[in-house]
């Protein structure tokens, strides 16, 4: 099998019911529950605002040189509801994906696009309303033909993305949820939301939550509180 130049056409996708658990959940809360695991770094950001929330299983593409042919082969492997995740190795000198490709992804029914690299034609993409997250924009087109891989584990935003992982992205950021732990993570977010709801009366009064315990621990650590 030619490592670095291969296409896996069949991947396991989570049940739709499992994916739907994450539609109402906030990526920041998911990140907290996962202890920051699976949290993409913020260099990959929304390409316009406001932007539609993205939730769906990952189809992955790795293009070390930005090969256009391999990206299109990756597009062909997508199904409605998928999120195409492209490892462009942070390349911001060329636009790996443009307005026409994004329009095609939109019409295929994809939930969104994540690119560890640059894109182009933001005005067209914004007009169409297709959610795209990337490192930035570039006018130049990438190389037309070269090697790459489709539906292999990739690194994107400094985290591992496996084909079929659940991607959740909005204006605050992007998280990657392994399906094997999805129910546990969703339950953890529900508990976190209960804790957030419980402190709202304190916040409404303008008080600082947990301040007594914080001050006690600081004093135990040797912090001096000076009254005058």
What would the pLDDT profile of 70-108 be if each residue is shown by its tens digit? 999 999 999 999 999 999 999 999 999 999 999 999 999
Q: Within a 10 A sphere around the Cβ of 48, how many other Cβ atoms?
A: 14
Please report the pLDDT score of residue 1 as a whole number: 62
pLDDT in tens, the chain (228 residues): 689 999 999 999 999 999 999 999 999 999 999 999 999 999 999 999 999 999 999 999 999 999 999 999 999 999 999 999 999 999 999 999 999 999 999 999 999 999 999 999 999 999 999 999 999 999 998 899 999 999 999 999 999 999 999 999 999 999 999 999 999 999 999 999 999 999 999 999 999 999 999 999 999 999 999 998
The CA distance from 109 to 104, in Å, is 9
Please report the pLDDT score of residue 211 as a whole number: 96
The CA distance from 164 to 59, in Å, is 7
Please report the pLDDT score of residue 228 as a whole number: 80
The CA distance from 139 to 209, in Å, is 48
**Structural domains of the chain ordered from first start:** 6-191 (3.50.30.40)
- Distance of CA 54 to CAs 5, 147, 175, 215, Å? 29, 28, 10, 40
Please report the pLDDT score of residue 142 as a whole number: 87
Question: Is the dihedral angle over the CA atoms 6, 114, 24, 180 positive or is it negative?
Answer: positive
| pTM for this entry | 0.95
The β-bridge partners of 6 are 149
Helix (H, G, I), strand (E, B) or coil at 29: helix
């Amino acid at each position: 099998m030619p490592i670095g130049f291969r296409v896996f056409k069949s991947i396991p996708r989570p049940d739709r019911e499992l994916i739907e658990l994450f539609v109402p959940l906030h990526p920041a809360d998911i990140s907290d529950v996962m202890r920051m695991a699976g949290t993409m770094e913020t260099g990959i950001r929304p390409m316009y605002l406001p932007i539609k929330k993205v939730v769906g299983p990952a189809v992955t593409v790795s293009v070390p040189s930005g090969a256009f042919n391999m990206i299109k082969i990756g597009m062909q492997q997508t199904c409605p509801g998928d999120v195409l995740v492209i490892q462009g190795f942070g390349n911001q000198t060329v636009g790996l994906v443009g307005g026409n490709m994004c329009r095609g992804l939109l019409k295929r029914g994809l939930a969104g696009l994540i690119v560890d690299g640059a894109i182009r034609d933001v005005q067209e993409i914004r007009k169409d309303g297709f959610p795209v997250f990337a490192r930035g924009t570039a006018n130049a087109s990438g190389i037309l033909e070269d090697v790459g891989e489709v539906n292999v584990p990739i690194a994107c935003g400094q985290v591992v993305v496996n084909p079929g992982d659940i991607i959740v992205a909005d204006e605050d950021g992007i998280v990657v949820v392994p399906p094997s732990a999805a129910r546990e993570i969703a339950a953890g977010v529900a508990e976190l939301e209960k804790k957030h709801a419980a402190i709202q009366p304190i916040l409404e009064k303008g008080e600082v939550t947990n301040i007594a315990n914080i001050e006690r621990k600081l004093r135990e650590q040797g912090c001096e509180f000076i009254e005058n």
